[in-house]
């Protein structure tokens, strides 16, 4: 493998467990005096990895910004821990991939191609277009995956377990196996998997590379059985692989890859503690002052095409148009945080979200009543405050690997909330029984589900919410991580 990172490669080969993901556990900024500032991130993978308290474990991630690249460059072999940064319980190797290669791989292939294919996001009369520019992006994606495989091969102890995350790194398992056949390699998809007819939109060689890349792993993990079977269907149809749907295995070119289903749950202990700190209480008081004694419909998302925010607003508008009894009696609190703003589609979508919110305000708002309160700046404690307050949580993605908001709201809800949930969210497999299920494209049915949630008797709402919270926390992040690690052990 060629040296694609800007740092010198100096294998230590001491790590018994490794994680690889595009976004790492820390990110950097630059202070006014020019020094680097470090920010620790959260999320399922960070809590999951905390289950193994091993300072020799290594997390390999990409530098996402200029400040990250500087930190990676200044650290020996990109090892942030060796540069004295406080990166958490494990070591971190940050790859200073050159910015152009990174942008083509991340924006061009990962987010504009693979994300779109798995979430069924293309408007097919005009997109996708696989032209010469796409081929340049694909080369960059291959180089970026090679840089990860190279770093993992350098850091891994003999026989180490390597857990590779997501669609950014679909080529890594096969590349790594070629370099280090002694390793036990897992890949985990945090997204849905495309059905065969949709994967077929990709150029044949690209679809094949993505599938065989993941099949380089000993185990390929998914959030639901539905996504695991979609992957198996694609392998059967396009590679001619042998699929055992009972045992959940795919055999191709003489090797068998086991498929695993691990439905990542909400981190109840963390959420319940965090949701009752003073900063959350403060924001809750502010929200309560806005809402008064009205009911609330809450949604919290990244401003992400797959989250279906626009149709959610259309459903709310339909509710207000068809059921005037809700005028002045309900407030829709919508938090739509910035995401992937380098992509034109996301910027246009954000504009559409804002414009529709303004239209709804203009159509129904009065001096005393704001029917829709939209915030677009990221504020985690305020999200938790909204979770606590919600009478109805609206989670209506077009398609979603899991959707942790659907799992988090019932856990921290103060009075019990009704959950309006898209049947296309992975979380529906576990929460469907106690949620109000909707087809995410059906505005009228979504409006009716909002009405049903708002009028649900308090006792029923609290009972359902309790069951939702239990299902949502069945597999906490630490166990989710350990299960995958144990399944990779010989005989696991």
> Which residues are at the interface with ligand F6P (CB under 6 A)?
23, 166, 190-191, 339-340, 401
Residue nearest to ligand F6P (CB): 190
Peptide bond into 128 cis (omega under 30): yes
3-state SS assignment for residue 123: coil
With 0-12 CB in 10 A as exposed, 13-18 as middle and 19+ as buried, what is 288? middle
Q: Output the smallest distance, CB 191 to ligand F6P, in A.
A: 5
Q: Output the smallest distance, CB 283 to ligand F6P, in A.
A: 22
3-state SS assignment for residue 290: helix
22, 106 in Cβ contact below 8 A?
A: yes
Q: Output the smallest distance, CB 11 to ligand F6P, in A.
A: 28
CA–CA dist 220, 227 (Å, integer): 11
153, 176 in Cβ contact below 8 A?
A: yes
Q: What is the CA radius of gyration of the chain?
A: 23
Nearer to ligand F6P, 207 or 404 (CB): 404
Nearer to ligand F6P, 189 or 296 (CB): 189
Name residues whose C-beta falls within 8 Å of residue 48's C-beta, 6 or more positions apart in sequence.
264, 477, 478, 480, 481
Q: Output the smallest distance, CB 169 to ligand F6P, in A.
A: 10
Nearer to ligand F6P, 256 or 339 (CB): 339
Nearer to ligand F6P, 217 or 223 (CB): 223
Q: Output the smallest distance, CB 339 to ligand F6P, in A.
A: 6
Q: Calculate the dihedral angle through the C-alpha atoms of 429, 431, 434, 437, rounding to the nearest 10 degrees.
A: -60
Return the beta strands (E) in 265-360 as ranges.
295-302, 330-337
Q: Output the smallest distance, CB 401 to ligand F6P, in A.
A: 5
CA–CA dist 491, 169 (Å, integer): 26
Nearer to ligand F6P, 4 or 405 (CB): 405
Nearer to ligand F6P, 342 or 463 (CB): 342
Question: Which H or E element spans position 316?
Answer: helix 309-322
Tokens of 396: 């209506």
CA–CA dist 51, 480 (Å, integer): 10
Nearer to ligand F6P, 209 or 405 (CB): 405
Tokens of 63: 């530098």
Q: Output the smallest distance, CB 430 to ligand F6P, in A.
A: 17
Nearer to ligand F6P, 23 or 295 (CB): 23
401, 191 in Cβ contact below 8 A?
A: yes
Q: Output the smallest distance, CB 219 to ligand F6P, in A.
A: 19
């Amino acid at each position: 493998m060629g040296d694609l990172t800007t740092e010198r490669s100096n294998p230590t080969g001491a790590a018994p467990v490794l994680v690889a993901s595009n976004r790492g556990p820390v990110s950097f900024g630059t202070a006014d005096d020019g020094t680097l500032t470090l920010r620790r991130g959260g999320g399922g993978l960070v809590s999951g990895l905390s289950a193994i308290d091993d300072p020799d474990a290594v997390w390999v991630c990409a530098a996402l910004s200029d400040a990250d690249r500087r930190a990676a460059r200044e650290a020996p072999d990109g090892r942030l821990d060796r540069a004295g940064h406080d990166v958490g319980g494990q070591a971190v190797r940050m790859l200073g991939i050159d910015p152009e290669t990174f942008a083509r791989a991340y924006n061009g292939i990962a987010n504009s191609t693979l994300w779109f294919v798995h979430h069924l996001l293309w408007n097919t009369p005009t997109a996708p277009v696989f032209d010469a520019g796409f081929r340049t992006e694909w080369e960059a994606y291959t180089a970026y995956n090679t840089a990860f495989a190279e770093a993992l091969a350098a850091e891994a102890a003999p026989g180490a377990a390597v857990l590779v995350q997501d669609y950014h790194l679909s080529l890594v398992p096969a590349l790594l196996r070629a370099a280090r056949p002694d390793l036990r390699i897992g890949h985990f998809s945090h997204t849905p998997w495309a059905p065969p007819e949709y994967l077929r939109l990709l150029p044949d060689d690209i679809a094949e590379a993505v599938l065989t890349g993941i099949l380089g792993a000993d185990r390929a993990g998914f959030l639901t059985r539905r996504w695991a079977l979609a992957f198996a269907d694609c392998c059967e149809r396009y590679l001619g692989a042998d699929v055992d749907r009972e045992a959940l295995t795919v055999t191709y070119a003489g090797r068998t890859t086991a498929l695993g289903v691990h439905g990542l749950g909400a981190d109840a202990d963390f959420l319940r503690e965090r949701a009752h700190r003073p900063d959350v209480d403060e924001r809750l008081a502010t929200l309560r002052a806005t809402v008064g004694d009205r009911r609330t419909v809450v949604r919290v998302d990244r401003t992400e095409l797959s989250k279906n925010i626009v149709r959610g607003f259309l459903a709310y508008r339909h509710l207000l148009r068809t059921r005037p009894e809700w005028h002045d009696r309900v407030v829709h609190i919508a938090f739509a945080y910035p995401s992937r703003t380098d992509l034109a589609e996301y910027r246009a979508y954000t504009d559409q979200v804002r414009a529709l919110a303004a239209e709804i305000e203009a159509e129904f708002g009065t001096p005393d009543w704001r029917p829709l309160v939209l915030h677009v700046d990221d504020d985690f404690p305020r999200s938790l405050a909204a979770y606590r307050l919600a009478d109805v949580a609206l989670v209506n993605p077009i398609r979603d690997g899991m959707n942790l908001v659907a799992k988090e709201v019932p856990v921290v809800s103060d009075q019990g909330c009704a959950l309006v949930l898209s049947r296309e969210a992975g979380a529906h497999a576990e929460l469907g029984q106690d949620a109000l299920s909707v087809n995410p494209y059906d505005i009228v049915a979504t409006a009716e589900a909002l009405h049903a949630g708002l009028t649900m008797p308090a006792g029923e709402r609290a009972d359902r919410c309790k069951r939702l919270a239990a299902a949502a926390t069945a597999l906490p992040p630490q166990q989710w991580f350990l299960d995958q690690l144990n399944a990779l052990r010989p005989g696991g």
